Amino acid sequence: MGQGQKGSSDKKEGKKKKKRDESPAPEDGHKCRVCRFPLLVALLQLLLGVAITVVAFLMLAISPSLLARETPHWAGIILCLVSIVGFILYCITYRRDERSSLQFCVKLLYFILCTIGLVISVLVMAFAGHHHRQANSFSCEQMGEDCVCTLDENDPIARTFIYEGVSSCEDINGTLSLYFLIQILLNLAQAIVCAVGAFIMWKHRYQVFFAGLQIGSPSSQQWHKV
């Protein structure tokens, strides 16, 4: 009777030890994959980058004489490239047991590009805010196919802005000013997304720590990551 109880207890201890030695099962890769980092961030960056580029070309269609800082299509294109690096990072990160130098380089590149995207978005917002305020205070006059605008019509030496190929000055005072406002909102959203992406990358790199006792034998080197 005592030997039977001892044998059953040994079996139970063996099962418990086997469970402790087993590493935790990987998460289901098909469970809300869109919500997992960095896929969602990269998708938002791509959508916002395309939207910024489209709005910039619509602004350029009003007048071909608009400057590059007034039509920030370059910012949208750069942010689309950032999103592509995010998609590459997603594909690399979720390979099982991936610990290559390629993964580290792509993570570092994505962190740097997210930071650059944040700076670019803030820069575009500054330009768009300045031009939006300026366009609202314009006094414009149609001269042939050009629209001549001044900040103060009573000042004879006030700076003059000439917009070529404009059918109506209402496009400058109304439509162009609206596009500047849209650019501010889109780049504000893009700045937030890039900041979130950079923060998550930094947190994953520097705020990950290990807790608990080593699982299994010393040779297995299995740890619980929290």
Domain boundaries, position 100 = 37-134+185-206
Helix (H, G, I), strand (E, B) or coil at 163: strand
**Residue 55 in domain:** yes
**Residue 102 in domain:** yes
**Residue 140 in domain:** no
Q: Contacts from 91-94 at CB under 8 Å and sequence distance 24+?
A: 93/38, 94/29, 94/36
Distance of CA 108 to the CA centre of its chain: 14
How many angstroms separate the Cα of 75 from the Cα of each of 3, 78, 182, 196?
77, 5, 14, 18
User: What is the Cα–Cα distance from 23 to 92, expressed in whole angstroms?
Assistant: 22
| pTM value > 0.75 | no
Print pLDDT tens along the chain (226 aa).
545 555 555 555 555 554 444 444 444 444 445 456 678 899 999 999 999 999 999 999 988 888 888 899 999 999 999 999 999 888 875 555 456 677 778 888 999 999 999 999 999 999 999 999 988 888 888 888 888 888 876 766 678 888 988 888 888 888 898 999 999 999 999 999 999 988 888 876 655 534 444 444 454 444 444 4
**Residue 3 in domain:** no
| Phi, psi of 148, rounded to the nearest 5 degrees | -105, 120
User: What is the Cα–Cα distance from 130 to 70, expressed in whole angstroms?
Assistant: 10
- Number of domains observed in the structure of the chain: 1
Q: What are the tokens at 187?
A: 């780049």
**Residue 125 in domain:** yes
**Residue 109 in domain:** yes
**Residue 196 in domain:** yes
**Residue 77 in domain:** yes
